[in-house]
Amino acid sequence: MKRTWKKTALSAALVSALLALPLDRASALSLSINGSVQQQDVQPVMVDNRVLVPLRGALEPLGAALQWDGERHTVTATKGSTIVTLKLGSIDAAVQRGPR
């Protein structure tokens, strides 16, 4: 009886360890644009089941220019005639589209 209990405990421990492996690998997030993994200073992170990606790392490879306004705490991304402005701490973005 004692030997069966040890086998069961060992089996449960092994199964638990194997199930934890995929979760550990899922924590290594990366950003891929057009099939190319982007190397970044700040890596994407998961917060409340949402992936947060550094704006610079996501937009510069797409050809956008970014500017930070420290006084207003805003970042402005420009590509062609499209301008997107985001304020730190806000969930809204202002989008201006010029003529194409």
pLDDT digits over 28-79, tens only?
Answer: 777 777 888 888 788 888 888 888 888 888 888 889 999 999 999 999 999 9
* Order of strands across the sheet that contains 93-97: 65-69, 74-79, 82-87, 93-97
Are 45 and 51 contacting, i.e. CB atoms less than 8 angstroms apart?
Answer: yes
Q: Which of these CATH numbers, 3.30.457, 3.90.1690, 3.40.50, 3.30.70, describes 2-97?
A: 3.30.457
Pull the structure tokens for residue 53: 């990606």
Sign of CA dihedral 35, 39, 40, 45: positive
Distance CA 83, CA 100 (A): 13
Query: Which pLDDT score, from 0 to 100, does residue 45 have?
Result: 85
Query: Which pLDDT score, from 0 to 100, does residue 8 have?
Result: 64
Distance CA 42, CA 31 (A): 11
pTM confidence score: 0.61
List the one residue out of 57, 64, 26, 62 whose CA is nearest residue 43: 57
The residue extents of the domains of the chain are: 2-97
